Structure formats: structure tokens, C-alpha cells
Amino acid sequence: MQKVTLTINGVPQHVLATPEMVLLDLLREDLHLTGTKQSCDRKGQCGACTVLVNGKATLSCITKVTKLEGAEVITIEGLGTPINPHMIQEAFVLSGAVQCGFCIPGMIMATKGLLEKNRNPDDEAIKKALARNLCRCTGYTKIIDAVKLAGQFVRKETTPEEVRGKLDPTKMLGVSHVRPTSMIKACGVAKFGGDIYPKGALEIAVVRSTEFHANIKSIDTSAAEKMPGVAGIVRAADIKGTNRLRQVHPDQPVLCDDRVKILGDAIVIVAAETKEQADAAAKAVKVVYEPLPYVMEPEDALKPGAPVLHAHAPDNICARQPIIKGDAEKALAEAKYVVEANFTTQTNHQAPLEPESCVCWWEGEGEKEELVVAGRSINIHFHLNQLKEALGLQNMRYVEPFSGGQFGIKTWITSEAIAAAAAIHFHRPVRYIPSLEESILICNKRHAYHIYTKLCADNEGYITAMFCDWLMNKGAYTLNGPVLLGRSIMMLSGSYHIPNLKVLGRSVYTNNAYTGSARGAGPPQTTFSTEVAVEMLAEKMGIDPLEFRRKNSLKAGQTKATGMPVSEWSFVEVCDAIKPAYDRAVKSAQEWNAKNPGPVKRGVGIAAHSFGVGGAGDSAKLTIEVNPDDTFTLYAAIADPGEGNDAMIAQIMAHALGVPLEKIRLYLRDSDKTVLMGPAAGSRMTFMAGNAVLLAVEELKKAAAEAGGMTYEALTKAGKPTRYEGLQKNEGPAGLDKATGQGKAQVTECHNIQMAEVEVNSETGVTRVNKMTVCVDGGTVINRHAFEGQLEGGMDQGVGYALREEYTLGKEKDYVQFKFPTIRDSFEVETIIVETPRKIGPLGATGVGEMTMVSTAPAVINAIHNAVGAWVLDLPATPARVKAALAAKK
């Protein structure tokens, strides 16, 4: 041990440090300065732990405390507070750079270090200074904007007050009002799961399968139970409920009892007084396996004699869904132009920056005692019911702390089930904060698809038919696989009128990574194949790709793939709005290529999609209340892991009530005070929650008219309630015909076209995206910063999906191996917004959180083809695959 004296946020600290102790652990574990975040397993890869040491931006997770004698350390808590924020914190908030907020303290401290040296940094200087700081939400565009605005503040060219003064407080639509939680996130005050430390909490570790498929012959925990600090072991037999999690089929064990079906399956829980003790004891548990045959690809799982994963699916098919619309065989026979190809998309990790976390504690006494589960669900009531069923305890409450992004990853609750099982067994508070490596291993991933597509057109340039056959790699467990298969089917025809379709989609169990929701949730894979096939067909016919898409747009009264007619369809307007930018980009690339005869070529590619919003038969419920001080509280189970749902719902509510935002209070994400809202997924929250708020306000206004006022006093004097419910119920019923795939799908849509401008080196195969342009019609824009942030973040993830990101079970264990996009990979973004108010949307709005993820990859692949003439049909388009495609072309 070494005695070290240093100053932290102006306070002298005297520390006895071991040689291994890093500054991050001193800050978080000893001083509970939790604004400094831990994400990358202390490898110096993410920048979330950035602090200032003697004025220099420093990664605290790799900085030894023994090296800090006499140092002056400033953390995010020492920079400013929500009441008295630093101008850099103000800049990040006012620029819309704060989404989930997990990375923001590190970003701000890195910016502070930069501006101490360079008060007027250009883009390159900003990217260099923030190159170690990762963000999954923003795409870095608004991060760069925030640093530039902070520079203006530092140089006294403007002030936060002047910027805020430009926001019209009386206007709620299209205005970038500050998100309600942005400032507490920017000041490091917001508590994420790993920031919660209940008194007397046990720390837990999980013994996980080291086999892909095996019978469990024995589990020996005797040595682990004798180790220092160990409170005990939880086995499958200790769980009082079904010990199964389900969304469709109850087929995933909380703890495996006799068989494991995937690398990383949970077997036993070890609980101890410290995380180090729990981890050490978990390593002492001995599991003996009988290995079984396993399959990793769906084609192999369908072969005779393949190992069967579940008794309910002896053929290993999780779900199947065809589409039979019109007469595709006849259309093919008559078609003048036909293209066909095989496509593959990869398993993809959603990669939120906050690793998995769940903290549980007990509240109340006797019959009123309940277990509080603080997890990261996007659908708290649905998941709470799953936990009650699996664990056999009814007195449970679910609360959601702030969540560091999720992008579909938290439609599943394995971590919550593990933590709650331990809390129930030991009847003590529990913290389960797995490492990044474990988090990556255990969370659900985006499905890999194998797709055959054939697309046909007539002499006039109209698409006449589509054939499609695809296999989804479901992995070992069902989760919401049938739902995602249905979503792929529902949005298969995208923006186009395709009168004849013959499609078969199958989801197949394997021993690979279990898969579920990921941003886009179904359409990204099939839109990739469809949009590349559309590009091939346009090229074969000699028609401009944009004009071909415009020509084949659906029109009001025509039907989507599922036979559902559309009543309004503004895709043509989107095509027209992007055309000037498209023409400029094509001309620029052609001129550049003519002047540069070397191996680097530029290309332009487009892709389109019409993303369905608000499922048929879907519902959402919430409550508003008039308070004694005449403010208004919204009680709603609305998750907001970064999308801006809090700003959206507050602005819709304020607009409907005709009051300033200061009058709106939000009480979200607590199962005791809210009712079933449904998931913050599928871009549904603006449409569903927004409409529910309007319905609740309508009921309040009716009562207020009878009471002679909307004040608390007027309502109570008139004997009127002060609480009003809003229930949005979409026209239904939902569901597709099992034989034909015809039926009702989503009730409205958002439309977009994305354009990628790329450079491709034909010698190395390296592709660089220089610019992405998105033209979108999502109806009325509520909060412009939030709207743009979703578009920009989706494109950044889409480029990663297109060019570099790929998950192999058990291989990618950190951000470097995953090839997480950094600010140096960021690109110029242009956003073109078409606002066509939707007749059934709240104030005309829909939702745009996912559609740019859907269209980016095909736009990039089409741009690569435009640059070098080769088709890359397997994602991601790595340099090796680009070179192989070029070689095949020759």
C-alpha cells in the first residue's frame, strides 16, 4: 500500500493505494463520484471515464493512483452543477448532443481539456481530441456541434442566454426545447444502474456455460462456498417460479438445470460481499459437461439428423410466414426484366455504451414488502410480469434508472432475472454489474439473414413481382423471433407498389447467439436485399435509380405486401425533395473521377424505405393529473434510453394544454405509478404515447369546461376528478394470415431516402463514407434536435453495419474487436425534412427513431457499386469482400 495525497474537485484526499488501484475505482467505488463512467472493462477504449488531471484530459480507468501524488483532479461533478453549469455543459445541452447521456461526462471533460489548449478548434482538432471517446447514440454530428458552440462561449462570441433566447417558449412544434433530463446528464448527476449502491448489497457473479451445446453432468460449488465473503450459491432448483423467460415460448432458463444450448448460458449465481470475492468464487465452481452436437447456421439446423434444440420445434423452425399476393408466377413469365441474387447479413451487436446492469433492493414490511428491480427495460410492465412468472414472486416493482442506450437490446431481461433471483434467494439487496465482455456475450443480437431475392419489371419500368426466400438465424431461444419475422414481412415491399409477391420467411433455431430486437427490428436485413435488387433492376433497364423509385411508389388506395391499403403516401414528395442534392452529388462524383485516374473512385448510392409505425391493434395507456400548484403531471411507463421521448411527450402535452413547458412534470418508468404503455420500440412511442396524451387532455378539457376552469381549485370545487386517463387503441385486429401473409400491419408510415457518397480504393478495398444525406417525411416535427439526432445516430450505426461491424459468438469481447465507430469515422450529414402531417398522428407526427438504420446499408452498397462497378452482396462490406467482388467482376 502506498499513501497518496491528491486534490479531487478542490478537496484534498489522502489515499492508501495498492499498485493496481486505478483512479476510476477511487472515484466511483470509494468516493461515489459516479458521473465518471465505466464501460470498457478498464481498457482505455471508450473515454466515458475521462477526467482532468493537472488540466489534461485523462482516462481514469488506466491511470494508477500511485502515479498521482500531488495531482489536481477534476471530474464532471467538479466542473459545474445543474443549478450552476459550466458553459461547456450548457453547450452540449443546447446543441442537442445529450441523448442517453452515458458518454457525455467523458465527452465534456475531453472538450474542456481541448479548449484549455485550443479555444477555436476546427473539425480535425475536435476529432483528434475526442478520438478516444465513443458514442453510440449521436453519430457524433451534434457532439462536434457542441464543441464548436462551447468554443464560441469560451471566446465570448455568444452566451448560453443568447442561444436559449432564440427558442420561442410559446411554440411547441418544431422547436428544439432542451430535453428535461439533459442538464443532469451533462453534470454527471443522473444515476444509471451501475451508479446505484444500496446499503448492504451483495455483489454477484454468474457461472456461465463454456460449451455451445451440452448436458450438465455435475456442478460442484463446495470450494466456492468456503471462500471469503461468499454469501452463497443460487442454482436452478432454488428458483421458485417457472425458471423460464418468455416472450412467445417460455424456453430460456434463468439458470440452466440439465442442459445448456449456447455459449454463455447461465448455470449458477455466486453472491458475495464484494465483486472481487464473487468473481473469485465463481471461478472456483466446477461444472462437468457432456458435449452434444451443435449447429451454428440455419441451413445446417434444417438438415435431417440435426440436433433438436426445443421439443416444441422438432424441425428447429421457430416461426415461418409466407406472403402470397397476386400471381407472381404469371408476372415472372411475362416480365421483360428480371434480376436475382443471394444476400447475407451478419449477426450484429447493438453496442450501447452502458454495459448490462441491474440493482435490486427490498422496500416495505410484512404483506406490503416488495422487491424493487432497477433495470433497463423498455417495457417495464410486460417485463415485470415475466419476472413474476419466472421467479415465483408477485410482490415486485420495476423502476428504470437512466439507461445508457439500448437500440433493442433491452427488449430482453436476462440480467434482471439473474439479479432478482439472487435478491429473492438471499433476501438482501443485490448489485449485478457484469463486465463489458460478459455483457456482449449474454445480450440478444440482431439476426443474421440468408436471403434469395428475385425482382421483375415490365417494359414500362414498373415492378411487377417479387420472389423472396429467407432464413433467419434465431440462435438458441425464441425471444420475440416470430414478431420480428412478421415485421420483416410487413415492411418487405418498402415504399413500392409490388402487385405480385411470393415470399417465404423462416426463423430457425441454432446454437448461435440468441437474437432479438435491434434498431430497425426486422426491416434492415430485408430492405438491404430489396433495395440492392431495385438498384440492379434500374441499372438493367437503364433508368435513373431515383426516377425508378419514384415511378414505383405506392399511391393512396394501393396495397402493401400484406394487402393492407394505404390512405396517404408522401414518398413521391420525398423523392422530389432530395433530387437537387442527388443531382449535385452525381455530377460531383463524375467530375472527380474524371480528374482522378487513380485507384480511388467516388460513387453515389441511394436507398429508400417506408417504415411502418403503430401496429394494428396496438394500445397504450397513461394518466395526467392536475396538481394543487396548477402544474400537470404525466404518469407513463415511457422508457427513454436516449431517443428524446421525454422531450417529445412534454412538448405534445404542453401544446395540447396550452401551457408553458415549465408547467409539465413527468413521472416515468415506475410500475407502481403507471400502467401498460408498451415498448419504446418500433418507432411507436411518439405515435402511441402522443395520441394517448391528446386523448387524456381532451377528457380533462371537457371536465374543465364544465368546471369553469382547468385549475386544481376549479376542478375540485366542481367535484371533478384531477386525474384523467388516455388510451390509444389502434384499429385492429393485428396479425397476418398464416397461409398468405395478408392482413393488417402498421397504421401509418414514415418515409425516407438516404444517399451515400463514398470513396472506394479498388486496390485495398477500403471504403470511406464522405457524406450521408437523408430526406425524410416523419410527419410533424415535435422537437427538431431530437428528430435530427435520431436520424444522425441511425445513419452512424447503419454505416457501421454496412462496412465493419460483425459479431461472432464468443469472439468479440470489447470495443476494439467489435470495430466500434469512432468520431474519426464520422461523416458529413445533410438532413432534408419534408413535413406532411399525418391525419391520425398526434399533431400530425409519426416516429423516426429507426428508419435511417434501415436504409443506410443498401445506400452504401449501391454507392460502392456506383464507384467501382462491383456488387458486394454479403454484409459487412469489408475490404476483403470489396476486393473479392472486384475480382469476381473481372
Backbone angles phi, psi at 412, to 5 degrees: -135, 150
Coil, helix or strand for 260? strand
The pairing of strands 664-668 and 619-626 is unpaired
Cβ-contact 275, 205 below 8 angstroms: yes
Give the containing element (helix H, strand E) for 142.
helix 141-154
Distance CA 890, CA 886 (A): 7
Backbone angles phi, psi at 110, to 5 degrees: -65, -40
Cβ-contact 640, 380 below 8 angstroms: no
- The residue type found at 828 is E
Work out the number of other CB atoms within 10 angstroms of the CB of residue 601.
20
CA-atom Rg of the chain in angstroms: 27
Separation in Å, CA 609 to CA 182, 282, 526:
31, 48, 11
Secondary structure of 13-81 in HEC code, one letter for each residue? EEEEECCCCEHHHHHHHHCCCCCCCCCCCCCCCCCCCEEEECCEEEEHHHCEHHHCCCCEEECHHHHCC
Backbone angles phi, psi at 360, to 5 degrees: -125, 145
Cβ neighbours of residue 45 closer than 8 Å, sequence gap 6 or more: 132, 134, 814, 815, 816, 820
Cβ-contact 818, 439 below 8 angstroms: no
Sign, Cα dihedral of 114, 117, 119, 124: negative
Coil, helix or strand for 705? helix
List the catalytic residue out of 625, 643, 792, 850. Answer: 850
Cβ-contact 873, 814 below 8 angstroms: no
CA 28 to chain centre: 26
First and final C-alpha spacing in the chain: 66
User: In 410-460, where do the E strands start and end?
Assistant: 430-432, 448-457
Helix axes 104-117, 87-94, angle to 10 degrees: 120
Buried b (16+ CB within 10 A) or exposed e, 338-351: bbeeebbbbbbbbb
Cβ-contact 396, 410 below 8 angstroms: no
In the block, which residue shows the cell 375540485? 716
* Sheet architecture: strand order including 448-457: 317-325, 500-509, 463-475, 448-457, 337-345
Look up 535 and say whether it is catalytic: no
Distance CA 735, CA 311 (A): 25
Cβ-contact 803, 769 below 8 angstroms: yes
The grid cell for 313 is: 420445434
Any idea what DSSP says for residue 325?
A: E
Catalytic positions, written as ranges: 850
